[in-house]
Amino acid sequence: MIFRQLFEPESSTFTYLLADAVTKDAILVDTVAAMHERDMEQLSSLGLTLRFIVETHVHADHVTGAALLRKKTGAKVAVSKAGGADGVDRALADGDRLEAGRIVLRALATPGHTSGCTSYLVQGQGVVLTGDALLIRGCGRTDFQQGDARALYGNVRGKLLSLPPETKLYPGHDYKGRTVTTVDEERRLNARLKDGISEDQFVTIMANLKLPKPKMIDVAVPANLKCGEGYVEVQKPGAWVFRLGEGEGGDGI
């Protein structure tokens, strides 16, 4: 399997490229509009054919590159049905499979950060892409987009941290330069979700974060509810570059 973890520094977003090294069929997960030329270059330099552009959720901190990449490659956009986005080619439910060559992603519904959050198990590889449901030593905030701390606790503990301990977890963001973690590490070291923390304790932690409103949310969410379609038209020049404010880092937007 070809596996690349790509980074966008303005929103600290990870984009994942997965491909079958033999058939050259590829999947991109959580693309960023401003980085679509990088993604196209990765595909062409490796001789890959993009089959699916996948989202872990409707993001509030960046605009997806899905529409731009679909236009250039003809790949299908796959997002959870529960996310409510328009213009989706494959609306995913819990347990659904996406295949590109011998790469198989299995959708694990993990709502709580948003109502449509989905993690993706890379079958046979011991790898899960967790989006913002579970971050390294943290988790996505639960105070907008139908966030629900009780649901997040149940889904992360029941569907992610119950996987084999050596399972590698790749998050949607990291604000401190880290790249990957494991089920074992998070069960021991995640300050919010490690073993021994109760659901009620988790709900109290999340209710007391007092995070500022994400700067990009009023642009990003409406654009992402259309898979990024029309984003360039609604943006003023220069406005799509933004920086995270003090205190926003580390909580998954």
Q: How far apart are CA 136 and CA 128, in angstroms?
A: 13
Q: By C-beta, is 132 or 148 nearer to Fe ion?
A: 132
Window 82-111: residues binding Fe ion (CB under 5 A): none
Q: How many CA atoms lie within 13 A of 136 on its CB side?
A: 18
- Choice between 132 and 229, CB closer to Fe ion: 132
Q: Which amino acid is at 152?
A: L
**Residues 168-207, mask of contacts with Fe ion (x by CB under 5 A):** ----------------------------------------
CA angle 152, 248, 66 (to 5 degrees): 70
- By Cβ distance, which residue is nearest to Fe ion? 132
- Assess contact for 84 and 58: CB atoms under 8 A: yes
Give least dist CB 147 to Fe ion, A: 10
**CB-wise, 3 or 144, nearer to Fe ion?**
144
Please identify, using beta-carbon distances, which residue of 101 and 171 lies nearer to Fe ion. 171
The token pair that represents 204 in the structure block: 């109290």
Q: Which is nearer to Fe ion, 19 or 136 (CB)?
A: 136
Q: Which stretch binds Fe ion (CB under 5 A): 73-81, 87-95, 126-134, 186-194?
A: 126-134
Stretch that binds Fe ion, among 47-55, 90-98, 124-132, 210-218 (CB under 5 A): 124-132
DSSP assignment of 131-178: ETTSBTTB----SSTT--HHHHHHHIIIIITTS-TT-EEEESB-SSS-
With both helix axes pointing from N to C terminus, report the angle between 36-45 and 66-73 in degrees, rounded to the nearest 10: 40
Only one of the segments 18-26, 41-49, 97-105, 125-133 lies at the binding site for Fe ion (rule: CB under 5 A); that segment is 125-133
Strands 49-54 and 76-80: parallel
Quick check: 132 binds Fe ion (CB under 5 A)? yes
Any contact of residue 20 with Fe ion (CB under 5 A)? no
Task: Tell me which residues touch Fe ion (CB under 5 A).
Answer: 132
